[in-house]
Amino acid sequence: MKILLAIDNSKFSDAALQTVIAQSRPDSSEVRVVQVVEPVDVIFPQGKWELGMSRDLEEVRKEKLGRAQQMVSAAAESLRDKGFRNVDTAVREGDARVELINAATEWPADLIVVGSHGRKGLDRFLLGSVSEFVIRHAPCSAEVVRLPAGS
């Protein structure tokens, strides 16, 4: 089974990682750990940081991509420590919702596992729901992992 594991450096993606470890067979699963980085120019469209900071957007972009690569590498190592041998990583740029669907289609994945932040109301409206979008548009099965109540 080919499993695309989406992470974002949150306790929700940690729960998704633990779910893959608990529910999958290491000897018969391929896992691709993916993190999507939002383009910096979406946040800072003028080409420089606001508030008088002079760091170039390309420098910020490289830092974000580097941190993302470290996170997917750490998750892959956790999987390998649990006996998964066929693990790789990918860092993509763009809208997380769209890029996860694209990654699952291109690979092609049999299952997408993603954590849910559990946003409601205005936060969900403003920030969107990656997990909901993935469930609706996935080219394969998808599992949304939630934290236990009170976590």
Query: Does the structure show a pLDDT above 90 at 123?
Result: no
Reply yes or no on whether the pLDDT at 54 is more than 70: no
pLDDT band at 60 (very low <50, low <70, confident <90, very high): confident
Measured between alpha carbons, how far is 111 from 128 in angstroms, rounded to an integer? 22
Q: If DSSP codes are grouped into helix, strand and coil, which group holds residue 85?
A: coil
Q: Token match 């499993």: residue?
A: 3
pTM for the model stands at 0.85
CA distances (Å), origin 66, targets 4, 63, 111 = 20, 5, 26
User: Is the domain covering 2-145 a CATH 3.40.50.300 domain?
Assistant: no
Q: What is the pLDDT of residues 1-50, one digit of tens each?
A: 999 999 998 899 999 999 999 999 999 999 999 999 988 765 555 545 55
How many Cα atoms are found within 13 Å in the side-chain-facing hemisphere of 38?
A: 12
Please indicate whether residue 53 or residue 24 has the higher confidence score (pLDDT). 24
Report how far residue 115's alpha carbon sits from residue 112's, in angstroms, rounded to the nearest whole number.
Answer: 10
pLDDT tens digit sequence for 128-141: 588 888 999 999 99
Q: How many CA atoms lie within 13 A of 100 on its CB side?
A: 33
